[in-house]
Chains A and B, each alone.
Chain A
Amino acid sequence: MNTSATAESVVAGPETGYERPNYLNAEYGISSWLLTRDHKRIAILYLVSVSIFFAIGSLFAMLIRLELLTPEGDLMQPDTYNRVFTMHGVVMVFLFLIPSIPAVLGNFLVPIMIGARDLAFPRINLASWYIYNLGGLFVLYAMVNGGVDTGWTFYTPYSTSYSNTHVIATGLGVFIIGFSSIFTGLNFVVTIHRMRAPGMTWFRLPLFIWSHYATSLIILLGTPVIAITILLVAVEKAFRLGIFDPKLGGDPVLFQHLFWFYSHPAVYIMILPSMGVISELIAAFSRKKVFGYKVVAFASIAIAVLGFLVWGHHMFVTGQSIYAATVFSVISMLVAIPSAVKVFNWTATLYEGSISYQTPMLYALGFIGLFTLGGLTGTMVATLGIDVHLHDTYFIVAHFHYVMVGGTIMGYLGGLHYWWPKMTGRLYPAFLSRLSALLVFVGFNLTFFPQFILGYLGMPRRYWAYPEEFQVFNVLSTAGASILGVGFILPLCYFIWSMRYGKKSGDNPWGAIGLEWDTPSPPPTENFYTVPVVTHGPYEYNPEEVHERTSHPEARVG
C-alpha cells in the first residue's frame, strides 16, 4: 500500500511547524478559491454555502416551534405561518438535505477513496457550486419578498391558480438547484466508472463510494422529472394555462404523480450518502470490516431502483385508485428490506468489534437507532389503512424528521467530525464534540418523539393553531428544538475555532484504513504523491495491528 512517507514528511509535523504543500496552502487569494478546479476546495466552498442555508432553514424551524408553543395562533398570521413552514421545507430539502453529504463529503472524498487525482469533470464541479448558489439566490429573493405559502410540495391548483406568492421564483430556484445536483451526480458516476486506481475493482471500493454511486443514479434519473414538473407549474401560472387545473380540464393528481416520482427517490438521495458515511464510521470505530460487504453494496443499488417504484404512497388519500394505492403500498414494504438489511449488517459489524466512542461513532450509533425508528414508522404509514388516518398529521412530520434529521443529519455530522482532520489537518475539542453529539441526540428525540404521539392523537400538520389538549407535547417539542439548536451551533463554533487553534491532527488520527488515510492530512492538491496500487479490499483491519497503527493521542479515547 502506498504511503505518504517522503523526505518532507520527516521534516514536517506538529513539532516543527513546517507545513507541507497541501491543497489549502497551494494558492492564496479569493480567485484561487472562486475559480478553483480542485474538488477539495469545491467541497469546502459547498460546506460554507450549505451551512448558510442550513442556518436559514433552522431559523424558519425556530419560528415554527415558537408559534406552536401555544395553542392559539398568536405569534403570526396564518398566512405567514404557511410561508414559514413552506420556506423551511424548501430550504431544508433542496438547499441542504439533498446537496449536503454528496457535495461536501462526496466531492472531497470520492476521488481520494478511489485513488484518482480529481473528479472526471472539475469545471462542471465548480459550475455546480455556482449553479447551486444561483438557485439559492432565487429562493432567497422569493423569501425576502414574502416567500411562498404552498407547502414545499407546491400542490396544484393552489400553486398554479390561486396562490399569489412567489411560486414562480421559488420554482425556478428549485429548477436551477436541480441542475447543480445533476452535475454532481453525473461527475460521480463517470469518475467511479472510469477513474479508479489500478487494482481498485468494484468490490474493493469503500461502501461510501457504493452509496454515492447509487445516489448519483437516482439524481440523474429523478431530478429531471421534478424539473419539468416545476417548469410546467411556472408556465401554467405565467400564461394561465390549465394543465393541472381541473376548472380548465387539467388534473391535479397528475401533478402529484410527476412531483412525487422525483420527490420520493429524493429521500433516498438524502439517506443513501448518509448510510455510506455510517458504513465507514462503523468499520473504523469497531476496527472491523463491515459485515456482509457485498450485501450492503447491493442493498444501496436495490434502494435506488426500488425507490422509483413507490411514489404513490404519498398520494394514498388524494384520489388515486385503490388498486394503484395497493400496488404502491406493497412495493413500499419491499423497499424497506434493503435498508433493514443494512441496519442488521452494521449491528453485526459492531458485534465483537473493538469499539471506541469517539464523536463520529456517537453519531453513527445514534443514526442506527433513529433511522430504525424512522424506517419502521415509514412502513407503518406505507400501510394503506393506517395512512388514511395518519396522513397529513404530525405522525408523518415525525417520521420524516426521524429519517432526515436522525438519519441524514447524524450521518452528515458524523462524517464531518470523522473527516475534519483529513480536510483541515486539525482536531476539534473532544469533550465539546461529544457533548454536542449528546445534545443533538437528546434534543432531537425530545423534539420529534412527542410529534409521533401528537399525530397519533390527530393533530394535523401545517396548522398554526391547535386544540389545547395538544399543548403539552408541543411544549416538549419546542424545548427539544432549543436543545437541538445548541447541539448544532456548537460544532459550527468549534469547527471554525479548530481551523486556527485546533491541534494538528497528523495524517491519520483515527488509525483508520482507507485510501484517504494513506495520504497526508490535509492532502496535496493532486491527492497522492504517486498513483496508489490497490491490492486488497476495504476495511482490512487486522486485530493484532490495531494498537500499533498511528493514532494521535488526542484522538484516542482516554
Chain B
Amino acid sequence: MASTAYDRHLEGLAAPHGGHHPSLQHQFDSLEQQKESSTLGMWMFLITEIMFFGGLFTAYVIYRSTLHGVFAEASHELNVTLGALNTAVLIGSSLTMALAIRAAQVNRQKLILLFLVLTILLGTTFLGVKTIEYRDKFHHHLVPGPHFAPAEAALQQVADKAQIFFSLYFIMTGIHALHMIIGIGVLLWLLVLSWKGRFDSTYYNPLECAGLYWHFVDIVWIFLFPLLYLIGAHTH
C-alpha cells in the first residue's frame, strides 16, 4: 500500500498487455491506483451525503429539544411494524449488495447477477412499503400544509408544531427514498453491465462504489427508523 506513483507506473507497464487493461483510464498508472482513487472519491462523495442528511438531522434535534413532547406524541401516528419491517428489508439488501461485490471478487459472474437482482428487489420492496405508509398519512390528513388535520386530540392542540414533525418525517424519508430510487437506477445499469461480463476480479470498481452508496443509504435509515418511529413508543 505504500508504493509510490512511480512504482505503480512500473507495475502498470510490467502487467499483462503492457499495462493497458481495457478498463484502465489514461490518467492512472495502474489498476490499483485507479481503484484506490475511485474508492476514495466515493467516500468523499459520501461525506457530502453525511452533511446533506446531517442538516436534516440537525433540524430534527433542535426541534425535538425545543418542542417538548410534541415529537413523541406525533411519532405515534407512524406504524412501527412497517418501519421495522422496512429496516429488516433494507439491511437484507445491504447483505445482498455486499455479497454481489464478493461475487465479483471471486469471479462468479452468475452470482453477481443474482445478488444484484435480489438487492434491487429488496430495495423496491422498501419503496413499496413506504408508498403504503405515505398513502396512509395522506388519508389521515397528516401531510403538512394547508390540509393538515390530525385526528388525535393531543395533536390538534399543538397542530402547528406537530406539522413540523411531519414535515421532517416526509422530507427526511422522502429524500431518503429519492436516494433509494437513484440507487436502484444505478443498480439496474450495473446489472446490465454485469450481464455483459464487464466485471471480474480484476475490475469491479463501479460495483464497489455503488455498494458504498447503498450501505450509506442503509445507515441513514438505521438512524431514521428509531428517531422517527420509536421515540414515543413507550408512552401509552
A223 touching B5, Cβ below 8 Å: no
B59 touching A122, Cβ below 8 Å: no
B40 touching A194, Cβ below 8 Å: yes
Question: Which residues on the B side are within 8 Å of A229 (C-beta)?
Answer: 55
A232 touching B51, Cβ below 8 Å: no
Residue of A nearest to B53 (CB): A228
Given contacts A221-B47, A232-B59, A243-B164, contact A198 B4 (CB under 8 A): yes
B26 on interface, CB distance cutoff 8 Å: yes
Given contacts A120-B27, A182-B48, contact A242 B160 (CB under 8 A): yes
Question: Which residues on the A side are within 8 Å of B158 (C-beta)?
Answer: 249
Question: Which residues on the B side are within 8 Å of A486 (C-beta)?
Answer: none
B153 on interface, CB distance cutoff 8 Å: no
A241 CA to B47 CA in the complex, in Å? 28
Given contacts A118-B26, A220-B44, contact A239 B67 (CB under 8 A): no
Given contacts A118-B27, A195-B5, A195-B27, contact A228 B56 (CB under 8 A): yes
- Nearest chain B CB to A247's CB is how many angstroms away? 8
Question: Which residues on the B side are within 8 Å of A222 (C-beta)?
Answer: 51
Given contacts A232-B59, A243-B59, contact A225 B54 (CB under 8 A): yes
Question: Which residues on the A side are within 8 Å of B6 (C-beta)?
Answer: 197-199, 531, 533
B81 on interface, CB distance cutoff 8 Å: no
Q: Mark B35-48, 1 if CB is under 8 A from A, else 0.
A: 01100110011011
B179 on interface, CB distance cutoff 8 Å: no
A227 touching B146, Cβ below 8 Å: no
Q: How many A-B residue pairs have CB under 8 A?
A: 131
Contacting residue for A240 out of B36, B37, B145, CB 8 A: B145
Q: Of residues B26, B146, B175, which shows the largest number of chain A Cβ atoms within 10 Å of its Cβ?
A: B26
A250 CA to B25 CA in the complex, in Å? 50
Main secondary structure of the interface of A (DSSP, over half): helix
A554 on interface, CB distance cutoff 8 Å: no
Residue of B nearest to A194 (CB): B37
B130 on interface, CB distance cutoff 8 Å: no
Residue of A nearest to B143 (CB): A239
A240 touching B146, Cβ below 8 Å: yes
A390 CA to B175 CA in the complex, in Å? 40
Given contacts A186-B44, A240-B146, A241-B167, contact A251 B52 (CB under 8 A): no
B58 on interface, CB distance cutoff 8 Å: yes
- Nearest chain A CB to B160's CB is how many angstroms away? 4
A190 on interface, CB distance cutoff 8 Å: yes
Q: Which of A213-260 contact B (CB under 8 A)?
A: 220-225, 227-229, 231-232, 235-236, 239-243, 247-251, 254, 257-258
- Nearest chain A CB to B166's CB is how many angstroms away? 9
Residue of A nearest to B54 (CB): A225
Q: Mark B1-41, 1 if CB is under 8 A from A, else 0.
A: 00011110100000000000000011110000100110011
Q: Which of A46-102 contact B (CB under 8 A)?
A: none
Given contacts A232-B171, A251-B66, contact A242 B51 (CB under 8 A): no
A223 CA to B52 CA in the complex, in Å? 8
- Nearest chain B CB to A370's CB is how many angstroms away? 32
- Nearest chain B CB to A523's CB is how many angstroms away? 14
A261 CA to B59 CA in the complex, in Å? 13
Question: Which residues on the A side are within 8 Å of B27 (C-beta)?
Answer: 111, 116-120, 122, 195
Question: Which residues on the A side are within 8 Å of B161 (C-beta)?
Answer: 249
Question: Which residues on the B side are within 8 Å of A547 (C-beta)?
Answer: none
Q: Of residues B36, B51, B163, which shows the largest number of chain A Cβ atoms within 10 Å of its Cβ?
A: B51
Q: Mark A184-223, 1 if CB is under 8 A from B, else 0.
A: 0111011101111111100000000000000000001111
Contacting residue for A198 out of B9, B62, B63, B144, CB 8 A: B9
Q: Which of B128-175 contact A (CB under 8 A)?
A: 144-146, 158, 160-161, 163-164, 167-168, 171, 175
Residue of A nearest to B26 (CB): A117
A121 on interface, CB distance cutoff 8 Å: yes
Question: Which residues on the A side are within 8 Å of B160 (C-beta)?
Answer: 242, 247-249
B200 on interface, CB distance cutoff 8 Å: no
A189 CA to B160 CA in the complex, in Å? 44
A221 touching B44, Cβ below 8 Å: no
Question: Which residues on the A side are within 8 Å of B41 (C-beta)?
Answer: 120-121, 186-187, 190
Q: Mark A114-146, 1 if CB is under 8 A from B, else 0.
A: 011111111000000000000000000000000
B167 touching A254, Cβ below 8 Å: no
Contacting residue for A220 out of B36, B47, B54, B66, CB 8 A: B47
- Nearest chain B CB to A227's CB is how many angstroms away? 6
Contacting residue for A195 out of B33, B48, B67, B175, CB 8 A: B33
Q: Of residues A119, A197, A222, A225, which shows the largest number of chain B Cβ atoms within 10 Å of its Cβ?
A: A225
Q: Which residues of chain B have a CB within 8 Å of any CB of chain A?
A: 4-7, 9, 25-28, 33, 36-37, 40-41, 44-45, 47-56, 58-59, 62-63, 66-67, 144-146, 158, 160-161, 163-164, 167-168, 171, 175
Q: Which residues of chain A have a CB within 8 Å of any CB of chain B?
A: 111, 115-122, 182, 185-187, 189-191, 193-200, 220-225, 227-229, 231-232, 235-236, 239-243, 247-251, 254, 257-258, 261, 531, 533
26 pairs, A vs B, C-beta closer than 8 Å:
A115-B5, A116-B27, A118-B26, A186-B45, A190-B40, A190-B41, A194-B36, A194-B40, A195-B5, A195-B37, A197-B6, A224-B52, A224-B54, A224-B55, A231-B175, A236-B167, A240-B145, A242-B144, A243-B59, A243-B164, A243-B167, A248-B160, A249-B160, A249-B164, A251-B63, A261-B55
